[in-house]
Each structure stands twice: as C-alpha cells, then as structure tokens.
C-alpha cells in the first residue's frame, strides 16, 4: 500500500498544541542570539544591570535548556507514529522516512547559511538518521537506549568534575574572544547583508563544530528515543486512560526540574550545579511541561482555548523559519538595526509579541490552506502527490 501523509482527522491535537507551545519557548531562548554576540559570550556573566540579570535568571530557570528536549521528544514521537502507521498499512517506512530527514537537513542548511547561524534543524535531521536505526525496537528498549546514552554522558562529565575537583568550584567567567565579539557587533550591528553573511560563516564554525555534532548524539538523540518510546506506548493518545501517570509526571517533574534549575542561584554557582541545571534539570522540567499541557488537554473547554496553539503547531516548521526571518530583519543593520540596543526585558516582550502575531497568522492561514507552506513543500517532495487533507 502507498503511504500517505497524515490527514486532518488523524492528527493528535494535543501534540500540535505541544508543538505550538514549544515554539514560544524556543523563540524566548533564541532571542538572545539574535541581538547579542553569541556564541562568543557567556550569558551567565554578560549582564551587569540588575533588571537584565533578574530577567535572564528567570528565563534560565523556566525556559533555557527545557525546550530543545521537549521538541526532541516530540520529534521522536512523530517519527515513531509514522513508523507504526506504515507498519499497520503494510508500507515500507524506510522508503520515505530517510527522505524526510534529508529534506529537513537541506532546509536547515539553507536556514543556517542564509538566514541565521543558530539553526537546530540540521542537528535534528542528523540525530533523526540514528533514530531510524532504533525504530524497530519496542518502547521498553527505546527508553532503555535513550537513558543509557544520556547516562553515559552524565557519568563522563561527573567523573571529570570529581577527578579534577571542579564539583565544588565556583563558576568563573570564561575567557572571551574580544575580536570575535567586536566582529559580530560590527557585522550584524552596522554591516550590510554580505557582512552578516560572512560573520554567519564564522559563527557556524562554532555552532556546527565537530564537538556539537557529537554532543547532539548524547543530548538530542536520547530524548528522541524517549519520545519514540512514548509513541510506541501511545501515551498521549491514551492520556485519559493514563490520567494518574500524567498528573504525577506534571507535578513531580515540574517541581523537581525547577528545584534543580534554581540550585545555582539558590546556592553557590558551582560547575556541578551549573551542569545539573542544564543537562538534568532542563530535560526534567521539559517532561513537567509536557505533563501539564497533556493534563490541560484532557479538559474539553481548555482544548478549545488552546486551539490557536494547535494551529501554530501544525505549521511549526514554517513558523520556526519565519521567526529567524523576522528577528534578523528586526535586529540586523540591513533591517531595523536593533542589534545590541535592547535589554533582556524588551527582548522577551518582543519574542512574546512575535509569537502572538504568528499565532494570529496561523489562524488566518488555515482559513484558506490546509498546511503550512514549508510543510506542504516537504510533503510534496516526499510523497509526490497532490496534497489535500480530508
């Protein structure tokens, strides 16, 4: 049988709501990289004004490092759903699964080279190819593989902290490359598009360095595996049946995640606490967020209220790329030239404003169209059929 794209009637709306929700979190985190000389600075030691420090710490606790695991789990969940659907109808998933990832990789590379250096799609596609190797396994094995891969990373770094005595050492501001910082400020702040392009290549040399690809296999791939395991068990589709599980995950993981992520600010900021904040607290909090959203989606009138988020989630790829286009036009000199001119509070409010506009845009878009523009293009290239959702 020929495999066909998911129709509107087949969509799981709570997954779309989660995707829409994650778009806001991703933008709040990415906003720093649009108006500050990242990746050449450490945000933890960059700000000197009290309001900036407070706003940054708030975002660091509740947003930073908690939304890429969330989106990674959703990515794994979605790919596993397609795999299981192909199995059910007797189609060969591997005839189109790799093609989807290749297209995503190409879109990510175009995004990275010509729009914004902080692209994450390439890393998702890269890890997705490894995920394909695991999809034949049961949910239990997928969860085990994910925990083992991620666990090895934790053991490696904690062993380093213990052997070097860094566990209880206070975090010191890292040395920065003043030349690179000035180059970024000049290229993005006062340069033309070509200046920004060449600076983007320099930033990409850090963003897409060898260490980043290796790191993705221990930070992104494990969460994809966990998401795929959840899909095998159909945890989201069976949410009402598993209400107790989801309520427990929401409460326990939310509280635990916030406590771990707050630790460097509650106590002395040590290297160990900083590591735990990012690589343990972040993913734990992301599960708490998923739990909260799934619990909310069990309430019918809440689902109606969150319907605009679902429509944004249905075109998450298009809106993700749109965020980069809007922000580069806002901050770079060839646009409105706001680079380095705003504080953290303003940057946060701009991010929220952009997201609200995007949600409204999605509402208007789906009045006439069935899919987002990039979603349509991807499915057209994969299935080579006339795409119209029922």
For 277-284, what is the mean pLDDT?
96
DSSP H/E element including 192: none
Region 182-188: mean pLDDT is: 94
Residue 386 pLDDT more than 50? Answer: no
**∠ CA(388), CA(361), CA(56), 5° rounding?**
125
Give the mean model confidence (pLDDT) for residues 230-238.
96
Q: Would you say residue 173 has pLDDT above 60?
A: yes
Cα–Cα separations (whole angstroms), residue 195 to 110, 180, 209, 326: 17, 14, 21, 18
The token duo for 385 is: 């059929």
CA angle 267, 269, 270 (to 5 degrees): 115
Distance CA 132, CA 96 (A): 11
Instruction: Say whether pLDDT at 6 is over 60.
Output: no
State the number of CA atoms in the 13 A half-sphere of 96 facing the CB.
20
Report the pLDDT value the prediction gives residue 272, as an integer from 0 to 100: 93
Compute the distance between CA of residue 67 and CA of residue 60 in angstroms, rounded to an integer: 11
Three state DSSP letters for 1-53: CCCCCCCHHHCCHHHHHHHHHHHHHHHHHHHHHHHCCCCCCCHHHHCCCHHHH
Mean pLDDT (the chain) is 92
**Whole-number pLDDT of residue 387:** 42
Distance in Å from the first CA to the final CA of the chain: 19
The predicted-structure confidence for 102-150, as pLDDT tens digits, reads as follows 999 999 999 999 999 999 999 999 999 999 999 999 999 999 999 999 9
Q: What is the pLDDT of residue 170?
A: 87
Residue of 49, 42, 53, 57 lying closest to 263 (CA atoms): 57
Question: What is the predicted pLDDT for the residue at 44?
Answer: 87
* Span 177-197, average pLDDT: 93
| Confidence category of residue 4, pLDDT binned at 50, 70, 90 | low
The angle that helices 139-164 and 210-219 make with each other, rounded to 10 degrees, is 120
Cβ atoms of residues 84 and 231 within 8 Å: yes
What is the pLDDT at residue 175? 78
Give the helix/strand (H/E) hosting 149. helix 139-164
pLDDT at 5: 55
Nearest to 250 by CA among 261, 234, 237, 239: 239
Confidence (pLDDT) at 207: 87
Burial of 291 (0-12, 13-18, 19+ CB in 10 A): buried
Which string of DSSP letters, residue by residue, matches 336-374? T--TT-S-HHHHHHHHHHHHHHHHHHHHHHHHH-SS-HH
Domain boundaries in the chain?
A: 8-383
23-34: pLDDT as tens digits: 999 999 999 999
Q: Using only the alpha carbons of the chain, give its radius of gyration.
A: 21
């Amino acid at each position: 049988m020929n495999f066909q794209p998911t129709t509107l009637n087949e969509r799981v709306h709570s997954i779309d709501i989660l995707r829409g929700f994650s778009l806001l979190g991703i933008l709040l985190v990415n906003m720093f990289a649009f108006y500050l000389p990242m990746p050449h600075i450490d945000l933890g030691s960059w700000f000197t004004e009290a309001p900036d420090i407070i706003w940054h710490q708030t975002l660091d606790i509740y947003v930073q490092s908690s939304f890429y695991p969330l989106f990674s789990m959703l990515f794994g969940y979605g790919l596993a759903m397609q795999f299981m659907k192909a199995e059910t109808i007797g189609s060969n998933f591997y005839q189109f699964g790799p093609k989807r990832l290749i297209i995503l990789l190409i879109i990510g590379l175009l995004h990275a080279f010509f729009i914004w250096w902080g692209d994450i799609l390439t890393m998702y596609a890269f890890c997705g190819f490894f995920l394909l190797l695991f999809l034949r396994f049961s949910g239990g094995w997928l969860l085990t593989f994910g925990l083992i891969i991620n666990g090895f990373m934790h053991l490696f770094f904690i062993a380093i902290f213990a052997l070097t005595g860094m566990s209880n050492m206070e975090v010191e501001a890292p040395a920065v490359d003043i030349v690179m910082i000035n180059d970024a400020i000049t290229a993005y702040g006062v340069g033309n598009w070509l200046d920004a392009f060449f600076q983007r290549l320099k930033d990409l040399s850090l963003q897409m360095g060898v260490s980043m690809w290796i790191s993705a296999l221990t930070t992104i791939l494990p969460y994809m595996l966990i998401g795929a395991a959840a899909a095998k068990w159909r945890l989201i589709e069976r949410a009402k049946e598993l209400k107790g599980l989801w309520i427990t995950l929401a409460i326990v993981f939310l509280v635990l995640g916030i406590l771990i992520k707050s630790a460097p600010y509650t106590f002395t900021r040590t290297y160990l606490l900083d590591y735990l904040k990012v690589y343990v607290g972040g993913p734990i909090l992301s599960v708490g967020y998923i739990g909260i959203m799934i619990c909310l989606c069990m309430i019918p009138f809440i689902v109606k209220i969150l319907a605009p988020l679902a429509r944004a989630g249905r075109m998450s790829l298009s809106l993700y790329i749109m965020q980069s286009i809007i922000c580069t036009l806002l901050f770079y000199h060839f646009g409105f030239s706001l680079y380095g001119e705003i504080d953290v509070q303003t940057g946060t409010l701009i991010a929220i404003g952009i997201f609200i506009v995007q949600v409204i845009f999605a509402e208007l878009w789906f009045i006439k169209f069935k899919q987002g523009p990039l979603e349509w293009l991807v499915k057209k290239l994969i299935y080579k059929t006339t795409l119209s959702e029922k």
